[in-house]
Structure 1
């Protein structure tokens, strides 16, 4: 197991070894309400801080995270089962996004002039303002980056944050909160709560949270959307994916194979934008399968240092992977790499060739080190297949023909598409990230990520205060005829 919830504690375990780590106290309703009151009492203060001050606070926070790099890597890997290098890259991506948010602060909160059209006596502009209190619910697969990014965007926007991490991986959040308190001194600006779905529901349904940001499964995301709708509360949903990778006949096959192996297997496939379905043009499919088969047999999963990736983080996830493979086994060829025989939730790197299109493996998110390989004949055929699941988070296209690759990318229904690469776009802090359809609502990262936690307020004032306005009572017939003539002349 990776965690065990009792009446008052979360017992956290290392999923790679089964060893017990530490207990975290579950947040009771009274404690939650106390934190909400603290958030409310500090809301006006933090909401009104200058961007320059928030930038200084975030810089202190970022530098403190880097100083505690080894502590973060150790904690991340202990409660997820991933490899130290993967843990380090998670910290790397996190602080990259933090630094970008700091750069946005002096720019994004300036007044933005707006055109006034024919209302020449007016001045108009917009400004961004904080929403107030942001409730954030983060997942277990990347307990730092998928927690820290929305936190930083909400704080950058001037919001108080109340965070509930996944009960599977609360220790990274505990460390993050300690580092925030020690480095910034602003202990009442960022709050944490711990527990299962009942604690998350308190956060979502609280009348005092002004926006909810959830990263996790589509099933839970739908439930949160319904709850937020009851309160007309804005919601950002970063949900699951079933990402397609399209390999055209003119692609660099070796690069495509290396990308497919890493994109499908890194973090044991537990990435929302991991490669899950590979579509290879029929005239190169045999060569592609032969080469990727040789490659996959050199990739290993396990807890030892020389393995390429670690364990599945959650037992239920392991059972889901096994179920999908058994469902696909009847009609497909299955090739597996090396999986250590140990006590952890280890599943070997797996390729499934020619599964039926209606199989669970092709329709449902797998979230494990498994990729399917199917063929396609032409561009319209593969676009239809890529768009067939209802998910729309990310995708990739491999082709030496840039024009063709861009055309295919434009037709895939997804929030992001990488050309001749996989997943790297997530690391570009200025590039908005999010899905469509079953993959979610809203965007994080870039200006859009900060603006998602803001209210946009519109302002207007007069350049000249006249005694009358065009729409005020009462206008003579002559005046009305004059306006009519102007309308037909100017707009006709």
Structure 2
């Protein structure tokens, strides 16, 4: 399937059309938003096999990985969002003190406007449509830019999308760097990008020209810190699964393990058994259970990394460029300054760094950029707490990996170099919503509020300070004073209402 690039000359009219649709309030009714969420669900559900076929052609994904890692989560997010939307969109009335008892103060949830969502190639369905669901729910109009590297999946999306989603509100723009650069010249009300930190800087720089807020879902070297008390057989299964899932091309994949030598020695004995259990003796010929590298450029990058390492390749290290195949590879005794430890690997290569103790591991992790995920493994709650108290990361999974991404009520996002902002569930709705503060003051309150007008008097100032500003609470007789104060407040409010009304 061929990916047809959008004509750059069409971009101004596309942006203008979506902005006009937004200002016409097309996307604001909840009924409309729910209808569009249902249409997105149907698009995935009715074309499930076509999506699985496209994902196989792009990344050699097994059908179960396509369903569980991509399609099912998008469908579930659409369902959950639809059922929660009315509650999320309702105004929130805030608590006020005595001075505002006659006012109505609430927060309206309003769509930010026209949104640009730029997807990525490693999960070309999930990472494009999950934020899109939040943008639909918030009431925005949206331009989606799928990755040009996942050619077959992006081409399928471009073909199906207009058949299901309202083109007056949501549009696909296909293409590569040229089309993306042209898009970024336009003013958007929010930009959501998933991908590398290098491109993230370009996105953020372009957004700054229009003071456009951004959500950046990036990546980094997500470490696995393993204590010496772990169950090695369970550790090996969970780490190998997380590292080799999607051939390591996952932004929250365990990028390396840091542990004492005894743990490394036990792991490299157990890991080959797990790999054989998962992928057979020859992962390349396994029944499509093992993915491939996205393209030759990324293949060459990974091969060069492995060629330059000073560590010991204890398993794997096999390459087939024509098939874009790199075997599951484990590298032991990797020096801290090794080439493998410079940047995110984003492939099926798993380095192990040996340290003397836990504190040395923590110190090394803290010497790197803040990772998108952190994976501590230990049977001891005290050890895990020590790791969490002394490190930073976007998210944490204790004694497992990747799975926090699947919990809709956990915000997913990074910090600093690993990202800005978060999404999933209500956080996606919040990301594309503006909390608009609204305060209503009745005209009948003029007799009271005139105390704020000049000329100022001592009595008026005392009244205003009493109404609006609190004093430190004393600890003695709190219950009695609270009841007495409440009674006085009710009496005063009743008196004010009699005066005003």
Q: Is the CA contact (8 Å cut-off) linking 1:297 and 1:338 kept in structure 2? A: no
In structure 1, how many angstroms separate the alpha carbons of the residues matched to 2:16 and 2:317? 52
- When residues 480 and 338 of structure 1 are mapped into structure 2, their CA distance, relative to the original with a 3 A threshold, is closer
Match of 2:38 among 56, 59, 76: 59
CA displacement, residues 117-162 of structure 1 (integer Å, 9 cap, x when unaligned) = 3423322110111111101111111110011111111111111111
Q: In structure 1, what is the equivalent of residue 429 of structure 2? A: 450
Contact 1:320 1:366 in 2 (8 A): no
RMSD between superposed Cα atoms in Å: 2.4
Matched residues, number: 467
The corresponding residue for 1:268 is 247
Cα pair 1:302 1:311 within 8 Å, conserved? no
User: 1:46, 1:160 within 8 Å by CA — same for their partners in 2?
Assistant: no
Q: Who is 2:28 aligned against? A: 49
Question: Cα offset for 1:378?
Answer: 3.3
Counterpart check, 1:355 vs 2:323: no
Of residues 89, 96, 110, the one that matches 1:116 is 96
Q: Is the 8 A contact 2:223 2:375 kept in 1?
A: yes
Q: How does 1:279-358 map to 2 (within 5 A)?
A: 279-296=258-275, 299=279, 304-306=285-287, 308-328=289-309, 331-337=310-316, 339=318, 341=320, 343-358=322-337
Name the structure with the higher helix share.
2
TM-score computed with the length of structure 2 as normaliser: 0.87
CA distance in 2: counterparts of 1:40 and 1:485, whole angstroms: 47
Q: Which residue of 1 aligns with 2:4?
A: 25
Q: Distance in 2 between matches of 1:488 and 1:226?
A: 42
Per-residue displacement from partner, 1:71-101 (whole Å, max 9, x unpaired)?
A: 1111122123323322222212222222222
Kept after mapping to 2: 8 A contact 1:100/1:430: no
Alpha carbons 2:133, 2:428 under 8 Å: kept: no
**C-alpha distance in structure 1 between counterparts of 2:221 and 2:92, whole Å:** 39
Alignment of 1:3-402 (within 5 A): 22-45=1-24, 48-89=27-68, 90-119=70-99, 120-184=101-165, 186-207=166-187, 209-296=188-275, 299=279, 304-306=285-287, 308-328=289-309, 331-337=310-316, 339=318, 341=320, 343-402=322-381
Q: Deviations over 1:225-257 (max 9, x none)?
A: 111112110011011221111221222211110
Contact 2:378/2:384 (<8 A) preserved: yes
Query: Which moved further from structure 2: 108-117 or 299-308?
Result: 299-308
Aligned match of 1:16: none
C-alpha distance in 2, partners of 1:449/1:48?
17
In structure 1, what is the Cα distance between the partners aligned to 2:97 and 2:185? Answer: 42
What is the TM-score normalised by the length of structure 1?
A: 0.88
Contiguous gaps of at least 5 residues in structure 1: 1-21
Go from structure 1 to structure 2 and tell me whether the alpha carbon gap of 1:488 and 1:419 turns closer, same or farther (over 3 Å shift).
closer
> 1:412 aligned to 385, 391, 396, which one?
391
Q: Distance in 1 between matches of 2:469 and 2:96?
A: 19
Give the direction of change, closer, same or farther, for the CA distance of 1:99–1:406 in structure 2 (3 Å limit).
farther
**Alpha-carbon shift at residue 478 of structure 1 (Å):** 3.4
Paired residues of 2:226 and 2:378 also in contact (CA < 8 A): yes
Partner of 1:466: 446
Distance 2:97 2:355 in 1: 52
Q: Is the 8 A contact 1:47 1:130 kept in 2?
A: no
Conserved 8 A contact 1:390-1:438: yes
5+ residue gaps, structure 2, are 474-501
C-alpha displacement at 1:181, in angstroms? 3.4
Q: Sort the Cα spacing of 1:170 and 1:459 in 2 relative to 1 into closer, same or farther, 3 A.
A: farther
| Structure-1 separation of matches of 2:42 and 2:121 | 24
Q: Deviations over 1:448-472 (max 9, x none)?
A: 2211111110000126522334533
Shift of 1:64: 3.5
C-alpha distance in 1, partners of 2:181/2:216? 15
- Gap change, CA 1:404 and 1:180, over 3 Å in 2: same
Of residues 352-361 and 289-298 in structure 1, the stretch that sits farther from structure 2 once superposed is 289-298
Could you tell me which residue of structure 2 aligns to residue 10 of structure 1?
none
